[in-house]
Structure 1
Amino acid sequence: MKIARREFMLAGLGAGLTAAADPHSAAARDTSAPEAFSTFGIVPADGAINQTATLQRAADAAAAAGTPLYLPAGTYATERLVLKTGTHIHGVPGLTILRHAGGRAILETEGTDNVRLSGLVLDGDGKPLGDNGALIIATETTHLDIADCRVTGSSEEGIALRKAAGRVAECEIDTIAKGALVSEDANGLEISHNHVHDCGDNGILVWRSKTGEDGTIVSANRIERIGAKSGGSGQNGNGINVFRAGSVLITQNRIADCAFSAIRSNAGSNCQMVANSCTRLGEVALYAEFGFQGAVVANNIVDTAAMGISVTNFNEGGRLAVVQGNVIRNLFLRKQGEVRGVGIGVEADTVVTGNVIEGAPAYGIFAGWAKYLRDVSVTDNVIRKSHVGIAVSVDPSAGPALITDNLIDGAKDGAIRAMKGRTPVGPDLAHESAEAYRNLAVYANVAR
């Protein structure tokens, strides 16, 4: 039977569409080494024997030859492998497994450049790693590239970086006893498009040994189920934790089910938390605290948390922020009488504008705390179904606050209330004059 030219062309088009719909299908079937790579004679032993010495020789030979090392699919039991400058190790994603057989890491590199890892599974198997252990450790490393790997089953940290520059991207980091990815004193680091989940203490940590510029970009990661098994009052239990690191950009992350915060920045000046989706947090969802100067918290969604956004610790030097365009809903009290259930809390040199807050069992917006209030503007916000819409400190030592053009609907105990500590005083300032309070300018608000 002859096949018409039109039928032949349509058949070819169908095959092309099938390939386009599943671009990885051919690659998934082909586990042979790419032409430019070499196995250096390595074959997996399904974890039955310790292959540390063989793997180390192959990695060293590949680095010396300037050739990427390709590890075929299978399980390799190994102790710590030390990677030299120019080491590239590639495997079959999900199928090339390096299983921990002892030592403080599986892969470690120090003082190196251009180390690249891809397509590997680093399986800690829950075995002891010792103090400061992690499945991947990189120290003073430049042009580091870790991509399309899975890091799992660590009894300590997942990936530990110190003074590193490069990127960690498109990896899965899970079942980690402490922090999934810990960076200290970074020097140009990107952490993006990773899936971090089921960690004992923290997801991604960006820290510095001393307060200073850091500039790490943390973007488009999916982070979920982060505990606080080591305890504490907030140093654990966070999806993303910034400490002393300046100019960190945190954007477009999806963060859910953390014991404490989705994003917590402690003494991190010029930190930006922009366009993140944050759900089911045990404490403050987005936190800028202690000795920072400069924060932008904008265009985020917070759904279900004890508090939406906190910009605090003016007493420690925390000041200067913009809180804009956030949607915050379904807040709760951690326990009866605890001061949470707040949409947004700010203290000093801060603009709060264009936010929508719904379902705050305590306060929609709380401006200042006792004497810790200075130069706060609260404008153009929508607050629905709160106990008090906007609360503002009128302590004799409190600085000025401007409250205007807000819409407050369904506040049970007043739309705008002056506060002395936790106690509302005087009338509802949405309906009565604020002239009795020298530090307040309140006008043009709508309340019902």
Structure 2
Amino acid sequence: MTVERIISRRGVVCGGGAAVAVVSNFSAARAWGQALSRSDATFGRGSYVNGQMFGLQPSTVKDQSHALQAAIDQTAAKGLTLSLTAGTYLVAGIVLRPGVRIEGQAGATVLGYAGGGTFVTAAGAHGARLSGLVFDGQQLPLERARVSGLLQIAEATDLVIDDCMVRRSIADGIVLQRCAGRVTRTTVSMVKGSAIFSLDADVTAGAIEIANCRIQDAADNGILIWRSRDGVDGSRVTASTIERISNVSGGSGQYGNGVNVYRAHGVSVMQCRIFDCSYSAVRGNAASNFQVLGNQAAGIGEVALYAEFGFQGAMIANNIVDGAACGIAVTNFDVGGRLAVVQGNLIRNLVRREAEPVDKRGEGIAVEADAAVSGNVIEAAPTAGLLIGWGKHMRNVVAMGNLIRNARIGIAVTATVGAGQCLVGQNIISGARDGAIRAMEHAVPVGDELAGMARYRHIVLEGNVVS
């Protein structure tokens, strides 16, 4: 007996070929379980089973949690794929099993949260596959002592969430704890916390890949790649669109970011489009060997691309930033932030936040220590095109081959006693209103124009062109 025959008859076939009517969710599940266990039934692993065989009825107002859980338990045990037809299924407290495979009609198969505590959770659900499903939290309360997201999955490897939608969560959208796998072609929107949160990704199993996703209207953050303590992570965020990220919870950068990487080393963010974020498009905090490559960012409230605090190693290259308080910042040498390449970026239309008491910005690129800044194009920076060092916090910076246009100060270099060496060479600076190259005491220019002169032993100037 084949799965296809059972599905086509829309009933459960028990011995002798007699059709058994589905009289309730429980009886359907029991009958289907008997069919699965019959020794004369043959099922190819990966075959599809329609959820209606378990009594699941699309677009009914009743809670179908028990029927869906039974379907998950039995199909996962047999290596079958559970297929859910278009419609809305009200469920809660669903637990995914190892090897579970659930497929729906993309955008039309809706699992609606029925309330009562948790929506979809898993622990150790290795090999789980979810595709073509809409997870709708309906803005109903979650039991926050147990979960922080609509989908909360722990300790699962080879996990796949593909072509899904997650929406209307009063907390986070997707929470992955100690997992490895991929989230692809998935939209997460209208969440009161963060859209996707990966904590302590399983490095040995390949970490987390988030690709071709769309993140919209998150109250606090878009994508979080975090670790509980410093360590290699290696997760990747690629080719995704992230927009309208607020910072409802406040703070000075903990919230309001398109992608936030914390303590996780070896993470890359590539070829993403990130718009309208309250703080940063991409923010790495204590994230070493951090790569930010080929992204587009616009409408960013603070620093668009940020490597801060105790990191060692950042590659920020080939990005476009149009509209931010600062295009790129590689800072916090005072607490160990160092070692960076900032290359080939296009940064324009910076703004000053005059309402801020101190942190006004208006800078194209800001760096501090052990950094090479080359081949960047910066236009329209109301404070400085390139800011090198802050107070005594500057060491071994090379700024060569950059083009800076229409900045108040073209290149601003710290002149504070104790600052390290800096080489500024072969840059073109055009239309700098208050000087092409100026020495600085923190935010205050000191002395006259430096272009073509060597007034400070720690600042080496060579071959710059000013117009």
**Common fold by TM > 0.5:** yes
Deviation >4 Å, runs of 4+: none
Partner of 1:137, secondary structure, is strand
Task: Say if 1:104 and 1:354 are closer, same or farther in 2 by CA, change over 3 A.
Answer: farther
Partner of 2:399, secondary structure, is strand
Matched residue type, 2:339: L
2-structure distance, mates of 1:320, 1:149 = 39
- Partners of 1:263 and 1:285 within 8 A in 2: yes
Task: Say if 1:338 and 1:136 are closer, same or farther in 2 by CA, change over 3 A.
Answer: closer
Matched residue type, 2:93: R
Q: Which of the numbers 38, 58, 65 marks the counterpart of 2:49?
A: 38
2-structure distance, mates of 1:45, 1:119 = 15
Counterpart in the other structure of 1:381: 402
- Partners of 2:311 and 2:338 within 8 A in 1: yes
Matched residue type, 1:178: G
The 5-angstrom pairing of residues 92-131 of structure 1 reads 92-131=105-144
Asked if 1:295 is matched to 2:314, the reply is yes
Counterpart in the other structure of 2:18: none
Counterpart in the other structure of 1:194: 213
- Deviations, residues 199-235 of structure 1 (Å, cap 9, x unaligned): 1000000000000000001000000000000111001
2-structure distance, mates of 1:380, 1:166 = 41
Counterpart in the other structure of 1:215: 234
Q: Compute the RMSD of aligned alpha carbons.
A: 1.4
- Deviations, residues 275-322 of structure 1 (Å, cap 9, x unaligned): 000010001000000000000000000000010000000001000000
- Partners of 2:85 and 2:109 within 8 A in 1: yes
Q: Which of the numbers 157, 163, 166 marks the counterpart of 2:178?
A: 163
Matched residue type, 2:380: G
Asked if 1:136 is matched to 2:147, the reply is no
Counterpart in the other structure of 2:328: 309
Asked if 1:371 is matched to 2:392, the reply is yes
- Partners of 2:56 and 2:67 within 8 A in 1: no
- Partners of 2:197 and 2:223 within 8 A in 1: yes
| TM-score, length-scaled by structure 2 | 0.87
Asked if 1:437 is matched to 2:456, the reply is yes
2-structure distance, mates of 1:413, 1:44 = 71
2-structure distance, mates of 1:281, 1:256 = 7
Matched residue type, 1:425: V
Matched residue type, 2:176: L
How far did residue 338 of structure 1 move?
Answer: 4.5
Partner of 2:391, secondary structure, is coil
- Partners of 2:100 and 2:125 within 8 A in 1: no
Counterpart in the other structure of 1:18: none
1-structure distance, mates of 2:296, 2:277 = 13
Gaps of 5+ in 1: 1-31
- Deviations, residues 401-441 of structure 1 (Å, cap 9, x unaligned): 0000000000000000011122211221114x12x311110
Asked if 1:406 is matched to 2:417, the reply is no
- Partners of 1:190 and 1:217 within 8 A in 2: yes
Q: Which moved more, 1:371-380 or 1:45-54?
A: 45-54
Q: Which of the numbers 162, 167, 170 marks the counterpart of 1:152?
A: 167
Q: Which moved more, 1:396-405 or 1:97-106?
A: 97-106
Matched residue type, 1:357: I
Counterpart in the other structure of 1:16: none
Asked if 1:74 is matched to 2:101, the reply is no
The 5-angstrom pairing of residues 251-400 of structure 1 reads 251-335=270-354, 338-400=359-421
- Partners of 1:43 and 1:72 within 8 A in 2: no
Partner of 1:159, secondary structure, is strand
- Partners of 1:280 and 1:305 within 8 A in 2: yes
How far did residue 103 of structure 1 move?
Answer: 4.1
Report the count of equivalent residues. Answer: 414
How far did residue 184 of structure 1 move?
Answer: 0.3
How far did residue 49 of structure 1 move?
Answer: 0.3
- Partners of 1:42 and 1:71 within 8 A in 2: no
Matched residue type, 1:121: V
2-structure distance, mates of 1:386, 1:284 = 17
1-structure distance, mates of 2:419, 2:338 = 15
- Deviations, residues 95-142 of structure 1 (Å, cap 9, x unaligned): 111000124432211022110000100000000113242111110101
The 5-angstrom pairing of residues 11-90 of structure 1 reads 36-39=47-50, 40-90=53-103
Counterpart in the other structure of 2:448: 427
Matched residue type, 1:99: G
| TM-score, length-scaled by structure 1 | 0.90
Task: Say if 1:389 and 1:72 are closer, same or farther in 2 by CA, change over 3 A.
Answer: same
Task: Say if 1:69 and 1:328 are closer, same or farther in 2 by CA, change over 3 A.
Answer: same
Counterpart in the other structure of 1:180: 195
1-structure distance, mates of 2:116, 2:239 = 33
Task: Say if 1:104 and 1:264 are closer, same or farther in 2 by CA, change over 3 A.
Answer: farther
1-structure distance, mates of 2:314, 2:433 = 32
Partner of 2:125, secondary structure, is coil
Task: Say if 1:362 and 1:210 are closer, same or farther in 2 by CA, change over 3 A.
Answer: same
Partner of 1:38, secondary structure, is strand
How far did residue 377 of structure 1 move?
Answer: 0.4
